[in-house]
Each structure stands twice: as structure tokens, then as C-alpha cells.
Amino acid sequence: MRKVIAGVVVMLSLSCSKNDEVGRMWYIIDDNLNVSVTDWIGGFADYPEGVEEDWGFSVTHAHLPAPLDTTKKAIRISGSNHSDDLFMYLTKKVRLAEPNRLYHGKFEIRFATNAAEGSVGVGGSPAHSVYMGVGLATQEPKKVLDPVSGDYRMNISKINQSQNGEDMKVIGDVSNGKSEPVYTLVTRTGEFTGKTDSQGNLWIIVGTDSGFEAVTTLYYTRIKVELNAITE
């Protein structure tokens, strides 16, 4: 039976990427998420405290939906956006060669989406008002509670719908490229530069920021990031 985990940041364990080797100046993280969830952590932000269950937040290692190959698995992340600004993300820590070093990342993100091209919905399009971004952060990305507003916000400068942040940039939307709302595998690519912390750690982050005020459910099947140290 599939275990549904809702309302919290979720640790997704196991790793097939060896990124703790010292002395290298380039790394390729190529995680096939059918095989395992490879240390990715899933979470949500930009929502009021206490609504996690009502808003249907979940992160699971689940089988792909039909008409895709239902024998294969992916990281399924789902939530209902009632704040007009829901952020859903996956993040992973990698240990790199040098502390306080800039790394340039080339991203390739493969995921399944049923958001039809040109579709319209409450507050915006389920395809074109849900923006996908990637980034590299010096600190672990996580939600923090704003004591004034009572909302959870990210502790990094993420994307804000179509706007880039200091720690992330927009690389597209979640359109399936078809006229029908059928789950389809699509790929988004992009680049970003980030800096390791004092121990040589760097956090990869992939996420969506939504202006579509209803449910978005995505299945991430592969996340590939090529990291190259920048020589100063």
C-alpha cells in the first residue's frame, strides 16, 4: 500500500550519486527516480499554518499514472493552491570539492504533467500559471513560519511565479504540450550558478510556484544536474 505523507517536509532516502568525493571540480548528479528517491526532500511553502491536510499536501514515491508506464515510479508531489502562490519543491544536498566555491549547474528535469496547453482555470492556467524553477543554494532550503502573517515562507530567495529569485530562476511552466489534459512526460532545461558553504555543501532545488488556484500533481521521473566549478 502506498504511504501518503502530507503537510510536512519529507525525507526521501537512498542515493545512487556519489557526490562526497574530495578533489574533483565537476560532478554529474543523474537521479533516476524510478529506481529510488535518492535523498530528495519534498516540501511546500507560501501557505498559512495548519492547512496542510485540507490542502492535500503529499510527497510519495508512486507509480506513474495511465496512460504512462504504470509499472514505473516517480516522486509524486501534489497540493491544492488556495493562497494564489503555492510553492512545491524538491531539494537535495551534495558535498563538493571546495568550500565557498562557485559552481555552474546545467539542469535537465523530466516530469509527468496533465496540464493541457492553452488551458484556463481558477486564478490562472493549470499549465501556464504554474512556473517551474531550478536553483543552487548555499543553505538548506526549507520553510519557516512568519510570526507576523502566520504563513510559511522559504528561507531562500526562490522564484515568485514568473519572477526569478537570487537562489532560483524560472525555466518554463508545467504544460504537457497537448490540447488534452492527459499525463505526458516532458523535459525542462536550464542553468544556474550557486556557491558552496564553508563545508563544501551545496543544495539543489527544483520547484513550482503556482498562480492556478486548484490542485497541481506532478511526477518527477529524472533530475540531472551537471556541476562545474568556476575558476576565479
pLDDT confidence band for 11 (50 / 70 / 90): very low
Q: What confidence score (pLDDT) does residue 24 get?
A: 66
Query: C-alpha cell of 22?
Result: 574530495
The CA distance from 140 to 83, in Å, is 24
pLDDT confidence band for 97 (50 / 70 / 90): confident
**Long-range contacts formed by 137-141: CB under 8 A, 24+ apart:** 137/91, 137/167, 137/194, 137/202, 137/203, 137/205, 138/194, 138/195, 138/196, 138/197, 138/202, 138/203, 139/197, 139/203, 140/91, 140/93, 140/203, 141/43, 141/89, 141/91, 141/167, 141/203, 141/205
CATH of the domain at 46: 2.60.120
DSSP string, 150-194: -EEEESS---BTTB--SSEEEEEE-B-SSSS---EEEEEEEEEEE
Tens-digit pLDDT profile for residues 52-65: 999 999 999 999 99
83 located within any domain: yes
129 located within any domain: yes
- Write the Ramachandran bin of 176: left for phi over 0, alpha for psi from -120 to 50, otherwise beta: alpha
1 located within any domain: no
The CA distance from 163 to 117, in Å, is 21
> Are 5 and 13 within 8 A, CB to CB?
no
Place of cell 502573517: 149
Partners of 190 in beta bridges: 107
SS3 of residue 43 by DSSP: strand
Q: What confidence score (pLDDT) does residue 232 get?
A: 64
Q: Phi/psi of residue 98, each to 5°?
A: -130, 145
The CA distance from 136 to 193, in Å, is 7
pLDDT confidence band for 98 (50 / 70 / 90): confident
Length of the chain: 232
Tens-digit pLDDT profile for residues 156-200: 999 999 999 999 999 999 999 999 999 999 999 999 999 999 999
* Total domains, the chain: 1
Tens-digit pLDDT profile for residues 80-90: 999 888 999 99
4 located within any domain: no
Which domain, by its residues, includes 83? 10-229
The CA distance from 75 to 136, in Å, is 20
2 located within any domain: no
Q: pTM for this one?
A: 0.90
pLDDT confidence band for 150 (50 / 70 / 90): very high
3 located within any domain: no
- Comparison of pLDDT for 181 and 231, the residue scoring more: 181
185 located within any domain: yes
119 located within any domain: yes
Q: Is the pLDDT of residue 209 over 90?
A: yes
Query: C-alpha cell of 168?
Result: 532560483
Of 162, 224, 220, 161, residue with least CA distance to 189: 224
Please state, for a pLDDT cut of 70, what percent of the chain lies above it.
89
pLDDT confidence band for 23 (50 / 70 / 90): low
